């Protein structure tokens, strides 16, 4: 089975507004770095097609999608504001509906490739819009491609897991599957006490048939690699092994990195690679989605490292030692794709560890027994 990248210049060259922090151009930077550090004979590139509009209604309310289409045509009503459209986070712009259909279409196409056994690993850099709600845009997300593709697989009787390491809680995905035992949803994120969207407490473990299948690991601002990996490894591997999903969706947002301007974690490429590697080792088939990441060059570098980890192909700098080699983004900032080790100051680290241990203990008491652990 092959490895597949979901990419198109039309998506990478789009923008919400010139000053908006969500930059699809990250995907182009990622591809340029990938061409620098990787050969190209072990993966294929698939250009996403527009999602069949009917599939949107596997998650979204029809009246909300109608608002989205009207906003795309240049209309504006107060009702749109109530639906999160036309705000600073979610501005209105021409082509927005087409862009969302292509993003969701790429995620859905990747899921179908995995489902049909045509790929083992798929990565869609501009995807993972985990904040969009059934009837509301939220957090730069207008449609929830994860919820749509996940619902499509559940409809076909598949068991999937969604593992989200974006710094922000995946509230829209949580809501989509909160009452389902067909989807194991795990979000590892900065605590809602200090970061949008303010949700994702460890006590939010699902409802009805879904009790125990929604897992949140909120982390204190300042959490570094050691604390991050401890909390992740204490919970995620055992649940994944026990649940045994056929396909794993992984939202690998780069905003967990310590250089991200919109979050407050102290994770480096070392912790990031560790958790991606853990999930990869437990996943028969994996669909990775780019999610957030607002230091665009660092995010592109993290995605290259994630892709390397997922495919088992070691990155090698083709331009190392050459005069006039590329110097931009991660190279200018750090000299390589990798970060040097970093540890928080002792007092901050102790506070973060204490909070992580409390969350781990709580989940082991409330969630693990529901899975026979």
Question: Band of the pLDDT at 336, cuts 50, 70, 90?
Answer: confident
- Shortest CA distance to 175 belongs to which of 215, 138, 219, 133? 133
Q: Report CA-CA distances (Å) from 117 to 154, 157, 201, 273.
A: 17, 16, 36, 26
The residues facing 219 across adjacent strands are 190
Rounded distance between C-alpha atoms, residue 216 and residue 230, angstroms? 15
Homologous superfamily of the 2-318+327-371 domain (CATH): Histone deacetylase domain (3.40.800.20)
Residue 240 has a CB neighbour count (10 Å cut-off) of 20
- Shortest CA distance to 238 belongs to which of 190, 282, 202? 282
| Among 79-88, 126-135, 311-320, the least confident range | 311-320
Percent of the chain with pLDDT over 70: 95
Instruction: Give the CA dihedral 71, 75, 81, 83, nearest 10 degrees.
Output: -40
User: Position of tokens 């992984």?
Assistant: 250
pLDDT reading at 327 higher than 90: no
User: What does the pLDDT look like over 203-229, one tens digit per residue?
Assistant: 999 999 999 999 999 999 999 999 999
Rounded distance between C-alpha atoms, residue 212 and residue 353, angstroms? 24
Q: How many helices (H) and strands (E) does the chain have?
A: 13, 8
Torsional sign, CA 296, 298, 304, 306: negative
φ, ψ for residue 244, nearest 5 deg: 55, 65
- Name the DSSP class of 137: -
Question: Band of the pLDDT at 335, cuts 50, 70, 90?
Answer: low
Give the residue numbers annotated as catalytic, written as ranges: 131
User: What are the E-state strand segments in 11-159?
Assistant: 43-46, 119-124
φ, ψ for residue 202, nearest 5 deg: -65, -15
- Shortest CA distance to 103 belongs to which of 41, 38, 55? 55
Q: Compute the average pLDDT of residues 332-337.
A: 61
pLDDT reading at 28 higher than 70: yes
The pLDDT value recorded for residue 334 is 45
The pLDDT value recorded for residue 332 is 47
User: What does the pLDDT look like over 249-296, one tens digit per residue?
Assistant: 999 999 999 999 999 999 999 999 999 999 999 999 999 999 999 999
Kindly report the pTM of this predicted structure.
0.95
The pLDDT value recorded for residue 298 is 97
The pLDDT value recorded for residue 318 is 73
- Shortest CA distance to 304 belongs to which of 340, 273, 258, 335? 273
Residue 185: HSE in the Cβ half-sphere, 13 Å Cα cutoff: 31
Of 7 and 320, the one with more pLDDT: 7
The pLDDT value recorded for residue 19 is 96
The pLDDT value recorded for residue 330 is 46
Q: Is the preceding omega at residue 197 within 30 degrees of 0, hence cis?
A: yes
Q: Does residue 370 come out as left (phi exceeding 0), alpha (psi in the -120 to 50 range) or beta?
A: alpha
Domain ranges of the chain: 2-318+327-371
Q: Is 284 helix (H, G, I), strand (E, B) or coil?
A: coil
The pLDDT value recorded for residue 341 is 95
The pLDDT value recorded for residue 321 is 56
User: Position of tokens 């994630």?
Assistant: 306
The pLDDT value recorded for residue 197 is 98
Strands 119-124 and 286-289, bridge-based pairing: parallel
The pLDDT value recorded for residue 114 is 97
Q: Compute the average pLDDT of residues 40-53.
A: 94
Q: Compute the average pLDDT of residues 53-75.
A: 96
| Residue 138 near residue 22, CB atoms below 8 Å | no
The pLDDT value recorded for residue 29 is 97
Q: Is 286 helix (H, G, I), strand (E, B) or coil?
A: strand
Q: Which ranges in the chain belong to alpha helices (H)? A: 9-12, 26-37, 53-56, 62-72, 78-82, 96-115, 145-155, 171-177, 225-243, 269-281, 296-311, 330-334, 346-366
The pLDDT value recorded for residue 322 is 55
């Amino acid at each position: 089975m092959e490895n597949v990248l979901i990419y198109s210049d039309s998506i990478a060259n789009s923008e919400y507004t010139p000053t908006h922090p969500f930059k699809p151009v990250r995907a182009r930077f990622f591809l340029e770095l990938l061409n620098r550090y990787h050969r190209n004979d072990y993966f294929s590139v698939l250009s996403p097609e527009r999602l069949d509009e009917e599939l949107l209604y596997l998650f979204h309310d029809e009246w909300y999608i109608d608002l989205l289409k009207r906003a795309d045509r240049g209309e504006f009503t107060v009702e749109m504001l109530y639906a999160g459209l036309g705000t600073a986070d979610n501005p209105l712009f021409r082509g927005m509906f087409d862009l969302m259909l292509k993003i969701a279409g790429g995620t859905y196409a990747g899921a179908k490739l995995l489902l049909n056994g045509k790929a083992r690993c798929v990565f869609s850099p501009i995807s993972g819009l985990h904040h969009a709600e059934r009837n509301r845009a939220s957090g730069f997300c207008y449609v929830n491609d994860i919820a749509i593709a996940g619902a499509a697989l559940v409809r076909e009787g598949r068991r999937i897991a969604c593992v989200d390491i974006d710094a922000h809680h995946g509230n829209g995905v949580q809501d989509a599957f909160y009452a389902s035992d067909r989807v194991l949803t795990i979000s590892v994120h900065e605590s809602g006490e200090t970061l949008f969207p303010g949700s994702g407490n460890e006590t939010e473990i699902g409802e009805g048939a879904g009790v125990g299948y929604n897992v949140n690991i909120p982390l204190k601002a300042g959490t570094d690699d050691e604390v991050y990996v401890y909390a992740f490894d204490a919970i995620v591997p055992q649940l994944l092994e026990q649940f045994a999903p056929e396909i794993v969706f992984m939202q690998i947002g780069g905003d967990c990195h310590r250089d991200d301007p919109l979050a407050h974690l102290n994770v480096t490429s070392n912790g990031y690679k560790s958790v991606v590697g853990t999930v990869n080792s437990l996943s028969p088939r994996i669909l990775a989605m780019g999610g957030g990441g607002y230091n665009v060059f660092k995010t592109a570098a993290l995605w290259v490292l994630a892709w390397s980890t997922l495919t088992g192909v070691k990155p090698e700098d083709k331009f190392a030692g050459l005069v006039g080699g590329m110097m931009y983004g991660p190279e200018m900032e750090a000299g390589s794709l990798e970060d040097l080790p970093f540890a928080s100051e002792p007092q901050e680290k102790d506070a973060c560890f204490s909070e992580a241990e409390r969350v781990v203990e709580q989940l082991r008491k409330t969630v693990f027994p529901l899975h026979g652990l």
